[in-house]
Structure 1
Amino acid sequence: MSGRVVIVGAGMGGLASAVRLAAAGHDVTVVEKEEYVGGKARQIAVDGEAIDAGPTVFTLRDVFDDIFRAAGRRLDDYVSVRPAAILARHAWDGESQLNLHADPIRSEEAIGDFAGAAAVRGYRSFRREAARIYGILENSMLRAGKVSWPLPLMWRIGLWRMGDLIAIRPYESLWTVLGEHFADSRLRQLFARYATYCGSSPFATPATLMLISHVEAQGVWLIDGGMSALANALRQLAEEKGARFVLGERVERIEVTRGRASGVILANGERLAADAVIANADPAALGSGAFGADAAQAVPPMKPRNRSLSAMVWLAHARTSGFPLTRHSVFFSPDYPREFADIAAGAPPTDPSVYVCAQDRDASGRGECDTRERLQIIVNAPANGDTHSYANEERERCTLAMRRTLARCGLELEEPLPHALLTPNEFESFLPSTGGAIYGRASHGWAASFLRQGTRTRIPGLYCAGGSTHPGAGVPMAALSGRLAALQVAKDLASTRRFHPAVMPGGMSMRSATTEGTG
């Protein structure tokens, strides 16, 4: 049965929820404080050019195919999407370069040329293990509702499949297990980097996160117009199905009546009544009281020590020379443990690894780049944007460290560099109550996945969605969280209507005050 749903935030999770709920006939209103949709998938103008300032790697295309299919549409009718031939190009110095390809055979050949036959065997064994972990968890956890303890997960996987339960390796660190596959420290570092996709240290994350490399190996896709084009396509689709968008308006408070979410109050004083509210925001903001004292009871507060990484992000429109950039390129630090020790100590790394997204390069790495090109450059940093001020001197020092890494690997940027720099301070402003943590809760320790906020909250009628909610960070995972929220809302609304009729003979409509657990 249909109901009124207000979605707070138009990030990927909120947009995915909006499409599914509107397509199912619900009355959907999306409220977004910015003037655009997409959340972190935003663009910022530099030197007159719009540069993607958020996520750049698009994987698990099938997640979005499913969203459009649920609304009777096709993704390809809304955006131009094509596969990347090169997943990423990696460098350690001016001589050591390695491509990973969409074709795994080409990747094997490249690894063999780079590090020898033993490295190829290690890569094959690593791929098998990563694929097995993904296969075990894909439908039992990643695409299913959150479980709060290992035993329910064991039931989903099957208690009789003890080998699979052991195979996900939750009690060993990613860095340690990679040493079983790769004797070459460069390859160990390359595949350890996937921990940063969810804002975590490879020295503290469980080896379970090898599955991230398998996700990328299934295909990286390039979207004309960047990730914001995908967000705009989802908005268009949601509107076609009847959803309404209120942009440039901030939600002052999530209203709770008789123990249940009943609507939202905007900063301009307007009230939007709702049978269900989906908070497409970092749960840390919800728990800190950013949406009112009543709503703060919905989730546990986030402790700063549990935050994911933040970042220093340079958005540049610049000439480049030397290193042959592809769409995604990574330039590694010579001392990976020290890099993460610096971050753990509360400072950006002095000798950082650097990721560069060359947004004008095509699927093979070529592009019209004989003049200036649009670049997003990322260095990992601590999520201390609420306690530490990144003054101009420190910003310049970080910029010089970033340029040293690139120069060591052969990439030169024009000087002066036309750019804007986002630090943890800017991310804290954009993502309040997070310290600038971009990925929500860090995936450190065996229990991290069970501690991440789930779809349901402690307040009936109030739900969470987004990259900081189960199943985790990244564009497809945020969209999966939106799917889970939409399914739970629809199920709960149907149950409420069935057992608590909207109209009682001779009386007024009443809503259930039944409590729900966090899940």
Structure 2
Amino acid sequence: MQGDTGVVVIGAGMGGLAAALGLAAKGVRVTVVEAGDLPGGKARGVPTPGGLADTGPTVLTMRHVLDAIFAECGTRTEDELTLIPLPRLARHFWPDGAMLDLFTDFDANVEAIEAAFGAKEAAAFRRFDKVTRGMWEAFNEPVIAAPKPSLGRIIAATLARPKLWPALRPGLSMLDLLNAHFNDPRLVQLFGRYATYVGGRPAQTPAVLSLIWQAEVQGVWAIAEGMHGVAAALARVAERMGVQFHYNSRAKRIVRKEGRVTAVEIENGTSIPCSGCVFNGDPGALRDGLLGDAARASMEDTKRPEPSLSAWVWAFGAKPRGVELAHHNVFFTADPELEFGPIGVGRMPEEPTLYICAQDREMGTELPEWERFEIIMNGPAGHQPFPQEESQCRARTFPILESMGLTFEPEPEGPALTTPALLSRRFPGSQGAIYGGSPEGTLATFQRPLARTDLKGLYLAGGGTHPGAGVPMALTSGRHAAQALTSDRISAAK
């Protein structure tokens, strides 16, 4: 076993941090190299008058994944972070004045839907919730939690639930499933929004991904330190366990000798010897040869997926006026086709749906004078910057919100905007996609790269690998990478 040279993790995003912690907990010497100046990857914070505002993921679900990582390292989530359970999942607004809160409590949801949309739609919700709960129970263990999706276990789980079969027909989209349950198009919009949580469009995303609703209804937590604070806490624990971090250090090449990884070269000329490497970046960077020929060859047998959605993201501090916001808020367009139609042909939405995280709301503390906000407008990946992009994005964000009763004083300036093109530059190989490969298509779930690659000693972690996008999924991918690497080291030592 070549354990004396340790392991290098490239990238201090959620997947890389989870991999580093999993390896350190097994006694492996770990070095993390990160191109940026802080850990977190897409989970970044930007300065505002009210403090750091998130400009990346904002929703923490499946807390048990985070709990397990900290527990393996001899600590507890509550000792490292301040998590606040949110009984209200989100507040939803429509241009016609309708508003709906959804909760973690099933009966509260039935009551809220009946009050807003009538008894028939409440009954439809009951049926939809039951179907998606069955999907979650059938697919969680054999797909989401497993290092490799197990087709046999999936078949066994679905055969045991014949009532699920109509919802699992090949080619059935999330939009098809929702239209079969709900009559009110606003509820179709709402639950179809979960496709965008993994970077897809409702009409093209497989119906089975409606199970995302169950991941959220099981619990959502706000984080006093922000989502970027989760990355900071993971890195802090890793340092306590002896993991070495090198920031502002971009990896240049993964070195292969005698058929396996032996070192990682940094752009400053440093070479770090290692017996293994975990790459926490978009797999597209390896396919494009950005980490050298050996890493590129390791991906030759994997298909390059279509990229998921990207986004224009505002992160800023301001004083809101008008609408009473919750922590998580969605302002829907009146016509989804004016959002997803342009996105499908690579353009900015004409009339977008806008997600707003009001980071200081529902935290159990008095609201500050300057609140922190993140506004996300979904868009296509692969987008190139164009003249007046900022002004167009502003015109399709703040006037729409003002028409629905919400204003900000002051409105953010240009530096507060992250664009798809900026994301593409910041995360090489991603094409600006923020959820890895697209979830659209029947087999998309089974086509993501797994932790092991064809190059001995090279492993993958992050939202572009199995099990996919989202903070708990990226963390899970890091755990899978650490487990695969330690297992292979043990086998090599025998």
Question: TM-score normalised to the size of structure 2?
Answer: 0.95
Distance in 2, matches of 1:191 and 1:289, equals 39
2:381–2:432 CA contact under 8 A, matched in 1: yes
Find the counterpart in structure 1 of residue 119 from structure 2: 117
CA contact (8 A) 1:18 1:238 kept: yes
Instruction: Flag the 1:269–1:301 CA change in 2: closer, same or farther, 3 A.
Output: farther
- Picking from 77, 89, 92, the partner of 2:91 is 89
Are 2:432 and 1:472 aligned? no
Give secondary structure in 1 for the equivalent of 2:36: coil
Q: 1:434 aligns with which of 413, 430, 433?
A: 430
Aligned residue in 2 for 1:373: 371
Aligned residue among 148, 151, 154 for 1:153:
151
CA deviations over 1:290-342 (Å, ceiling 9, x no partner): 11122111224998871101101111211211111111100001111231110
Establish whether residue 63 from structure 1 lines up as the match of residue 65 from structure 2: yes
Distance in 2 between residues matched to 1:304 and 1:454, nearest whole Å:
13
Give the structure 2 partner of residue 511 of structure 1.
none
Change (3 A) 1:455 1:416: closer
- Matched ranges for 1:52-451 at <5 A: 52-93=54-95, 95-147=97-149, 152-155=150-153, 157-158=155-156, 161=159, 163=161, 166=165, 168-300=168-300, 306-363=306-363, 367-369=366-368, 371-385=369-383, 388-391=384-387, 393-418=388-413, 420-451=416-447
CA distance in 2: counterparts of 1:302 and 1:362, whole angstroms: 44
The 8 Å contact of residues 390 and 423 in structure 1, kept in 2 or not, is answered as: no
1:406 maps to a residue whose letter is L
2:9 paired with 1:7: yes
Offset at residue 78 of structure 1 (A): 0.7
SS at the partner of 2:102? strand
Change (3 A) 1:160 1:482: closer
Aligned-partner SS, 1:317:
strand
Other-structure match for 1:517 = none
Q: C-alpha displacement at 1:128, in angstroms?
A: 0.9
* CA gap 1:277/1:305 in 2 versus in 1, 3 angstroms: closer
Deviation track 1:160-215 (CA, whole Å, cap 9, x = no partner) reads 93646835445310001011211110001000000001111111000011111100
Give ranges in structure 2 of 5+ residues lacking alignment.
none
Q: 1:303 to 1:373 in 2, by over 3 A?
A: farther
Letter in 2 for 1:368: L
Q: How many residues align?
A: 489
- Aligned residues of 1:317 and 1:418 also touching (Cα < 8 A): no
Secondary structure of the 1:306 match is coil
CA–CA distance in 1 between the matches of 2:220 and 2:433?
25
**Partner SS for 1:319:** strand
SS of the residue aligned with 1:294? Answer: helix
Tell me how far 1:415 sits from its aligned partner: 4.8
How has the CA–CA distance of structure 1 residues 89 and 443 changed in structure 2, closer, same or farther, with 3 Å as cutoff? same
Runs of 4+ in structure 1 off by over 6 angstroms are 301-305
State the SS of the aligned residue for 1:38: coil
Deviation at 1:46, TM superposition (A): 3.6
Q: State the alpha-carbon separation in 2 of the partners of residues 475 and 133 from structure 1.
A: 21
| Percent of aligned pairs with the same amino acid | 41
Secondary structure in 1 matching 2:204: coil
What letter is aligned with 1:359?
Answer: Q
How many angstroms does 1:95 deviate by? 1.9
**Shift of the alpha carbon at 1:239?**
1.8
1:431-460 deviation per Cα after TM superposition (whole angstroms, max 9, x unaligned): 112221111100011110111111111211
In structure 2, the residue corresponding to 1:316 is in which secondary structure?
Answer: strand
Measured in 2, the distance between the counterparts of 1:173 and 1:338 equals 19
Q: Which runs of 5+ in 1 are unaligned?
A: 499-519
Counterparts of 1:157 and 1:139, CA distance in 2:
12
Distance 1:302 1:382 in 2: 23
Aligned partner of residue 93 in structure 1, secondary structure: coil
Query: Which string of whole-angstrom CA distances, capped at 9 and with x for unpartnered residues, describes residues 198-243 of structure 1?
Result: 1111110000111111000001001111011111111122122221
TM-score for the superposition, normalised by structure 1 = 0.90
| Corresponding letter in the other structure for 1:472 | G
Tell me the distance in 1 between the aligned counterparts of 2:35 and 2:464: 18
